[in-house]
Structure 1
Amino acid sequence: MGQIIKGKPVADAISTVLTKEVEELKAKGITPKLTIVRVGANGSDLAYERGALKRCASIGIDTEVKELPENIEQDDFIAELKKVNEDKATNGILIFRPFPKQLDESVIKYIIAPEKDVDCFSPVNVAKLMEKDETGFAPCTPSAVIEILKHYNVPMKGKNAVVIGRSMVVGKPVSMLLLNENATVTICHSRTQDMPSVTSKADIVIVGIGKAKMIDSKYIGDEAVVIDVGINVDEKGNLCGDADTDSCIEKASMITPVPAGVGSVTTSILAKHVVKACKLQNNLV
């Protein structure tokens, strides 16, 4: 029987360090600020926003929410985004996606200022992730996966890591982050043949395929570490992950729960990126 590894201790450890860093910045007359740009009032966006605002407040980071109408036209959205880009007080920008159909992500991603793009929306930051350029910003959720592995002393160097899912939200970026930690990385997806034969050989399994409780014990090797990034609602209306925790824990050495796992670390990573952006913009790194 494996161990449930929760996100809160990881988030709290990150926040403790950040609080001290923000105090040091404020002593220099600098206060980091995050501006959230949200179109409409999607429930999951609002839930994440509440968590982000609470986390930033506890660390001492200023925040502002720019709520734009659901039916905003693209030119108007771009004009508002440019205002945030040019706002000298704003160090980090978080834009909620997906957008309503009238907004074209493939255009807007080139508008956000890369140095303020704290969740890797800009292609500039995607490229920096690929090149292991430390001045860039990786997406917050994949970064949270790596922080959890480090916090619980899970070795990555030379280990076999399998990532289930190939999205730009989790799968591809977390694969690059694992590669940067010198893991040997395999990506599985919906077209992978006999997936359990691949995943059951892994030391680390990152699950982000978007299907509730799809991954059970047959996908997991003895003593593997499972990080579940999925967020779904089961038939009883409860939140659950992409991994069937009760089944996987019979073989895994460690597994993150849903809720209270990766998601609870993500807002701390967001705050960490805002502080990093602030330092870079003030030539303090």
Structure 2
Amino acid sequence: MRKPGALRAGRTATPDKVSDVDTTSLSGKELAAAVNADTKERAAALAASGAAPRLALVVANDDPASGWYVKSLERAAGRLGIDSTTTNLSVTASAEEIRAALRALGADTAVDAVMLQTPLPAGVTLDEVSPEIPAAKDVDGVSPLSLGLLATGLPGFPPATAQAVVELAKFHDIPLTGRHVAVVGRSNVVGKPLAQLLLAENATVTVCHSRTTDLPAVTSAADVVVAAVGRAGLITGAHVREGAVVIDVGTNEGPDGSIVGDVDADSVRGRAAALSPVPGGVGPVTTALLMRHVLEAAENARG
């Protein structure tokens, strides 16, 4: 019988033999490459017809990590034939200034997709400004309307990170139907929308959070554990039953400046059947899906 994390023949994941279980690495690079190849081909077709897809980014912070991410999105768009522009607002921009920028881009017929980068200025919340992004252009699914469409199963763009978790599991033949999935984290960006996507896959979902009593008891009862709470090394081997699948969404700065996940990978390997690496797991798939959303928004706009 195949373990839950076993892959199709020909996949390039590498087993890490540590103790009793061969822990398969759920790399996202091959999936991201396939998504990007399709996006690039379809974007070229739109450009040939006279209108390349166009993404508009809005930034109102001076956070170095945010700046790096915006630059990475601009580079990814450029490689795939997607035009991108960035509106840089002040770090002291008011909610109304941000709403005005989003409103203008939402009304601009030359713009196919709008993305608001966080963090936002002090005192400004995503909930009060994101409704200005039309659902048809909300490629990262952050507005209350987009989240509502997701919750009710209607067409719309789900948050790319949450979608990446599901797509990564499918790519590696990890069954979700009928399985118990524990999602650690309840943010509107990952945890809550991921629960909706998993329910759509007929999984049984438990959403855990900071007030969950005896977190290891809850997560160790699950077939799949998704760590999406933003705390380095929170999930250890004690949180995972033998043979479970663990998907790490976390991107935290380690003591040496490296990027580390929410999972203590060393203690989970040899216990879990499969574990997504950080970096190289959910991350590249997230970016690829976000670019595919831009492409799909452009295709939808052109009929």
Q: TM-score, normalised by structure 1?
A: 0.94
Residue 104 of structure 1 and its aligned partner are, at CA, apart by 4.2
List alignment gaps of at least 5 residues for structure 2.
Answer: 1-21
The superposition leaves residues 221-253 of structure 1 with CA deviations (integer Å, 9 ceiling, x where unpaired) of 222111101111233333211100111111111
Distance 1:205 1:53 in 2: 32
The superposition leaves residues 208-233 of structure 1 with CA deviations (integer Å, 9 ceiling, x where unpaired) of 12211011111112221111011112
Distance 1:236 1:16 in 2: 34
List alignment gaps of at least 5 residues for structure 1.
Answer: none
The superposition leaves residues 143-175 of structure 1 with CA deviations (integer Å, 9 ceiling, x where unpaired) of 111111111111111111110111112111111
Moved over 4 A (4+): none
Q: TM-score, normalised by structure 2?
A: 0.89
**Match of 2:57?**
36
Equivalent of 1:225 in 235, 242, 245: 245
Equivalent of 2:186 in 166, 179, 194: 166
The question of 1:189 aligning with 2:215 is answered no
The superposition leaves residues 118-160 of structure 1 with CA deviations (integer Å, 9 ceiling, x where unpaired) of 11122111111001112x1111111111111111111111111
**Match of 2:153?**
132
The question of 1:250 aligning with 2:292 is answered no
Distance 1:222 1:193 in 2: 21
The question of 1:154 aligning with 2:202 is answered no
Preserved contact between residue 205 and residue 224 of structure 1 (Cα < 8 Å): yes
Distance 1:167 1:31 in 2: 33
SS at match of 2:51: coil
Distance 1:273 1:47 in 2: 21
**Match of 2:102?**
81
SS at match of 1:144: helix
The superposition leaves residues 53-79 of structure 1 with CA deviations (integer Å, 9 ceiling, x where unpaired) of 122112111111111111223333222
The superposition leaves residues 6-49 of structure 1 with CA deviations (integer Å, 9 ceiling, x where unpaired) of 22112101101111211222333331111110113211211211
Number of aligned positions between the proteins: 282
**Match of 1:67?**
88
Equivalent of 1:143 in 163, 178, 202: 163
Preserved contact between residue 231 and residue 239 of structure 1 (Cα < 8 Å): yes
SS at match of 1:263: helix
Preserved contact between residue 61 and residue 120 of structure 2 (Cα < 8 Å): no
Structure 1 219/56 Cα, relative in aligned 2: closer, same or farther at 3 Å?
same
Distance 1:246 1:104 in 2: 37
Further displaced range: 39-48 or 101-110? 101-110
Equivalent of 2:72 in 51, 56, 77: 51
Q: Please tell me the residue identity of whatever aligns with 2:247.
A: I
**Match of 2:223?**
203
Structure 1 42/126 Cα, relative in aligned 2: closer, same or farther at 3 Å?
same
